[in-house]
Amino acid sequence: MATYSAFAGALTAHRRAVVNLWFRRHEDPEGPEYRAARAECDQLGADLDHARFRVQLIAEDPGLMALANAAHKPVSAIHRAADKAELMDCENRSRDAVGAFVAAAAAQVLGRSGP
């Protein structure tokens, strides 16, 4: 449970950092706030990779790993968002994907066949 929870937390933290980076880039891509946001994003991205590797090591169900990977895709798309509406769409898809991962992880931890 700790591993799955850590992954969900790392993904959420990384999503927040990527959203912040998107705003900083649109405000001043040469400014110190942007550079600081990029450094934070890089660190949280590495933390997320570590958390995902831990999930991969213990996941009993290949579908759970697929959900973990799928949960990262909307976050990766945030930096390409053309406007705030697209950014919000990526955030919402990410929240939904994290929810699907958490439900499946909970089912595995609790020994159920489904959420």
What pTM did the predictor assign?
Answer: 0.89
Rounded mean pLDDT, 34-47:
97
How many domains would you assign to the chain?
1
Residue 104, domain member (yes or no)? yes
Residue 75, domain member (yes or no)? yes
Q: What is the pLDDT of residue 105?
A: 94
Q: Which structural domain range is residue 72 located in?
A: 2-109
Residue 115, domain member (yes or no)? no
Residue 70, domain member (yes or no)? yes
Residue 61 has pLDDT above 90, yes or no: no
Residue 113 has pLDDT above 60, yes or no: no
Residue 56, domain member (yes or no)? yes
Residue matched to tokens 């958390």: 51
User: From CA 62, how far away is CA 69, in angstroms rounded?
Assistant: 11
Residue 114, domain member (yes or no)? no
Banded pLDDT at 16 (limits 50, 70, 90): very high
Residue 114 has pLDDT above 60, yes or no: no
Banded pLDDT at 73 (limits 50, 70, 90): very high
